[in-house]
Structure 1
C-alpha cells in the first residue's frame, strides 16, 4: 500500500466509522444470531490475491457488524462503559501509523516522556497525592488494563514482603493477599500468576448496607494470619466495585496497612474517572496511604481500550521488582540513570504509544469537557434511579454514587431473571446483572457518549412494561 493508496483507503475507513456512529441508534444493541453464525459466514481461508478496501468494508457491513454487541450504542447499559471517541480513534491511528516501540526511552524518547507528562497531568487533574508524581519518588505509567495493574502491584508487594528475595528464589514463604468479597476477579488471577495460588487470597466481609470492605474484619484477618506465621503482603481496596460501585473505606484501611507494613493497592478502574470532578472525589479520601493506584480512562473517560493509568508511590521499588536487563537492551541513556524505561514498569517488554490517544482526548475535550461528560452520566443515572424509587414494584439495591444503578423487582429472583431476558430481547437496550446479598439484581450503567435522557427514559419504559408479566 503506497502512501497515496493509504490516503484514499484511510478516507474510506474514517467515513465508515463516522457512518457507523451515526447509525448506532438504529441498530439492535446485541445480535440475535446463535454461536457460530459469524464464523459460518466467513470464507474458509484468506484470498489468493489482494482485495480493495471497498470489498473489506462491504464485508464489515455484511459479516461483522451484524454479529457485534455495540458497546458505543446509546442503549448499552451493561457491565461498565467502554468509551471511545473521535479524538481517541485519531490518536490510535497516529500511534499505529508511527509504529513506535516504546520499551526503552532510547527506542522512543517522545513516547516515554509524553506518557510521563500525561500521567502527571492526570494526577493533577484528579488531585492525587503528591507522591504519585514523577517529580518525586513515584510516577505513573499506562498499563493495558486494571487487571495488569493489579498483577504488577501484587508482584511488587510480594517483592517487598520477601525483602527482595523474591527476584532470585520466587515465593519461598506463605504470603497473603486481601480484598473484599466484592473485589474484582483480577485479584485472584494475579495471585495465581504470582505463585500464591487462589488459597493466597483472603476475602474480607463487607458491610451489608454499603457493600464496602469492613476495616475491622480486615484487621482481624491480618492479625490472625500473622499469628499463624503467614506474611500479609497486599491489600487491594476498591473505589467503585464492579457489582455495586461500593467504596472501600481507605481512611480506616490505610492505617491498618501502614501499621503492619502491608502494600496497599487501590483499584478505581471504573470510578476513578469521576475524580476529574471535584465534587466526586469522595472515594479518594485516605488515598495518601496507598502504595499504588489505578483507573481506566478506557471505561468512562472517552479513551478507547486499552488504557489503564497506574501510579506508584515508589518507582524504585517497582523497577527493582521487575527489571531484567539483557545485553541487547543496554544503552547509554539507560546506563545514565537519567531516563525512565517503561519496560521495567510492566510485565511485557514491548509497548506501543498509547499516550497519544489520551493526549488527543485531553486536548480535544479539555478539563471542562471531560467533567461535562462525567456529570451527564451521573445525572442520567440519578434520573433513572428516581423512576425506580417511585415505582412500588421495584427497589433500589444500595446507593448509586456514580452512574451505575442496581435495582430489582421486589420478591423472588425468578421474575428478575425473566425481566432481564425480556428487556435485552428487545434489542433496544442491554443490561447485565449481579448478585447482591445473594439476590439476583439488575445493573444499569450509564456512560456511552451518545446516551441522553431520551435513551434513559426509553430504558425505564421498556423495563416498566416488561415488569408487568414478570411480576405475576
Structure 2
C-alpha cells in the first residue's frame, strides 16, 4: 500500500467509524446472532492473493457489525462502560503509526517519558497523594498496564517480594503459608492473581460484607487475620475495593489499613471503575479516603474516562518493590542509559517485556478534553444515574437494592428473582438497551451503569419506557 493509497484508505476507515457511530442509535445494542454464525460466514482459508482494503470495509458492514454487541451505544448500560472517544481513537492511531516498542527507555525514550508525564498528570487530576507520583526525588510512580487484572497480579508479585525479603523472586513462594484477603465482592482477578502467582485459590479469604452497603466488614477482616496468624498463615496482600463490579460498593480503606497495621500485608486499592470520578472534587473525599495508607492503587481510564481500551494505570508508593521483584536483564537489553540509573525502564513495572505507546491515547484525551471536559463527562454520568434512581423510586413495582454508587444503579422487581430477570432479559432482547445482572444477598438484581460519552436523558427515558412495556 503506497503512502497515497494509505492516505485514501485511512480516510475511508475514519469515515467508516464516523458512520458507525452515527448509526448506533438505530441498531440493537445486543448482538443478534447465534453461536457460530459469524465464524461460518467467513472463509475457511486465507486468500492467496491480496484483496483491496475496500473489501474488508464492506465485510465489516455485512459480516462483523451484525455480530457485535455495541459497547459505544448510548444505551449500553451493562457491566461498566468501555469508553472510547474521537481523541482517544486518533491517539491510538498515531501510536500504531509510530509503532514503537517501549520496553526500555533506550528503545524509544519519548514513549517512556511521555508516559511518565501523563500518569503524573492523571495522579494530579485525581488528587492522589504526592507519594504516588514519579517526582525527581520521590520513591513512587505510575505505569500504564493493560487492565486492572494485570495491575492486581503485578501488585501481588511486589507484595510477595517485599514480604519474603526477596526470596520469592528466586526460590518461589516456598513453604510459607501466604494469605490474601478481599471482600466477598472483590473482583475475580484477585483469585486469578493468587493462582498465577503460585499461591493457589485456597489462600484467598473472601471477607464478609455489610448487607446494606456491600462494603467489606472490617471487623470480620480483623477476626480472620487473627485466626490465620494463629494458624501459621502470613498475610501478604489485602485488596480494598473502591467501586465493586456488583454494586459499586466502596470499602473503608482507612479502617482496612488500620486493621492490617503490624502485619506484613500489602494494601492494594482496586478503584478500576470508580477511581476516575476523583477528577471531580465533590467525589474525591469519598473515593480517596485512606488511600494515602495504601501501597498501590489502580484505576482504568478505559472504563469511564473516554480512553479507548486498553489503558489501566497502577501507582505505587515504593517503585523499588516492583523493579526488584520483576527486573531481569539479559545481555541484549543492557545499555548505558539503563545502567546509569538515570532512566525508567517500564518493562520492570509489569510481567510483560514488550509494551506499546499506550500513553499516546491518554495524552490525547487529557489534552483535548482538559480537566473541565473530563469533569463534565463524569458529572453527566452521575446525574443521569440519579435520574434512573428517581425513576426506580417512583415505580412501586421496583426497589433499590443498594444506594446508588456514582453512576451505577442496582434495583430489582419487588416480586422477586423471576420477574426481575424476565424483565431484564426482555428489555435486552428488544435491542433498545442492554443491562446486566448481579446477585446481592442471594437475590437477583438489575444493574444500570451509565457512562457512555453519547448517553443522554432521552436514552434513559427510552430505556425506561421499554422496560415498562415488557413488564
Q: Give yes or no for TM over 0.5.
A: yes
Question: Which residue, 139, 142, 161 being the options, matches 1:140?
Answer: 142
Q: In the aligned structure 1, how far is the partner of 2:125 from the partner of 2:261?
A: 27
Unaligned 5+ segments in structure 2 are: none
State the partner residue of 1:231. 234
Question: Which residue, 219, 223, 228 being the options, matches 2:222?
Answer: 219
The Cα offsets for residues 67-120 of structure 1, whole Å up to 9 and x where unpaired, read as 000000011110000000000000000000101000000001000001011111
Aligned 1:40-51 pairs, distance under 5 A: 40-51=40-51
State the partner residue of 1:367. 371
Cα drift, residue 259 of structure 1: 2.5
The ranges of structure 1 where at least 4 consecutive aligned residues each deviate by more than 6 angstroms after the TM superposition are none
Aligned 1:315-464 pairs, distance under 5 A: 315-464=319-468
Q: TM-score, normalised by structure 2?
A: 0.98
Q: In the aligned structure 2, how far is the partner of 1:289 from the partner of 1:221?
A: 21
Q: How many residues align?
A: 467
Aligned 1:50-199 pairs, distance under 5 A: 50-135=50-135, 136-172=138-174, 173-199=176-202
Cα drift, residue 242 of structure 1: 0.2
State the partner residue of 2:268. 265
Residues 77 and 434, structure 2, Cα contact 8 Å, conserved in 1: yes
Question: Which residue, 271, 276, 281 being the options, matches 2:279?
Answer: 276
Q: In the aligned structure 1, how far is the partner of 2:258 from the partner of 2:422?
A: 45
Cα drift, residue 321 of structure 1: 0.6
Residues 392 and 399, structure 2, Cα contact 8 Å, conserved in 1: yes
Q: In the aligned structure 2, how far is the partner of 1:285 from the partner of 1:206?
A: 19
Cα drift, residue 466 of structure 1: 1.8
Q: In the aligned structure 2, how far is the partner of 1:428 from the partner of 1:392?
A: 23
Q: In the aligned structure 1, how far is the partner of 2:125 from the partner of 2:453?
A: 21
SS of corresponding position for 1:231: strand
Q: Tell me how large the CA RMSD over aligned residues is.
A: 0.8
SS of corresponding position for 1:304: coil
Residues 302 and 311, structure 2, Cα contact 8 Å, conserved in 1: yes
Cα drift, residue 261 of structure 1: 2.9
Q: In the aligned structure 1, how far is the partner of 2:40 from the partner of 2:216?
A: 47
Residues 234 and 264, structure 2, Cα contact 8 Å, conserved in 1: no
Cα drift, residue 27 of structure 1: 0.8
Q: In the aligned structure 1, how far is the partner of 2:2 from the partner of 2:262?
A: 62
SS of corresponding position for 2:262: helix
Question: Which residue, 248, 253, 258 being the options, matches 1:250?
Answer: 253
Cα drift, residue 459 of structure 1: 1.0
Deviates more, 1:139-148 or 1:35-44: 35-44
Residue 295 (str. 1) matches residue 299 (str. 2): yes
Q: In the aligned structure 2, how far is the partner of 1:183 from the partner of 1:407?
A: 20
The Cα offsets for residues 9-54 of structure 1, whole Å up to 9 and x where unpaired, read as 1010000001101111011111222110001111121112111111
Residues 87 and 360, structure 1, Cα contact 8 Å, conserved in 2: yes
Residues 183 and 206, structure 2, Cα contact 8 Å, conserved in 1: yes
Deviates more, 1:2-11 or 1:346-355: 2-11
Residues 30 and 69, structure 2, Cα contact 8 Å, conserved in 1: yes
Q: In the aligned structure 1, how far is the partner of 2:274 from the partner of 2:325?
A: 28
Q: In the aligned structure 2, how far is the partner of 1:275 from the partner of 1:460?
A: 29
SS of corresponding position for 2:315: strand
Residues 258 and 289, structure 1, Cα contact 8 Å, conserved in 2: no
Deviates more, 1:78-87 or 1:30-39: 30-39
Q: In the aligned structure 2, how far is the partner of 1:228 from the partner of 1:326?
A: 41
Q: In the aligned structure 2, how far is the partner of 1:331 from the partner of 1:404?
A: 48
Unaligned 5+ segments in structure 1 are: 468-472
Cα drift, residue 63 of structure 1: 0.4
Q: In the aligned structure 1, how far is the partner of 2:229 from the partner of 2:326?
A: 27
Q: In the aligned structure 1, how far is the partner of 2:268 from the partner of 2:260?
A: 10
SS of corresponding position for 1:433: strand
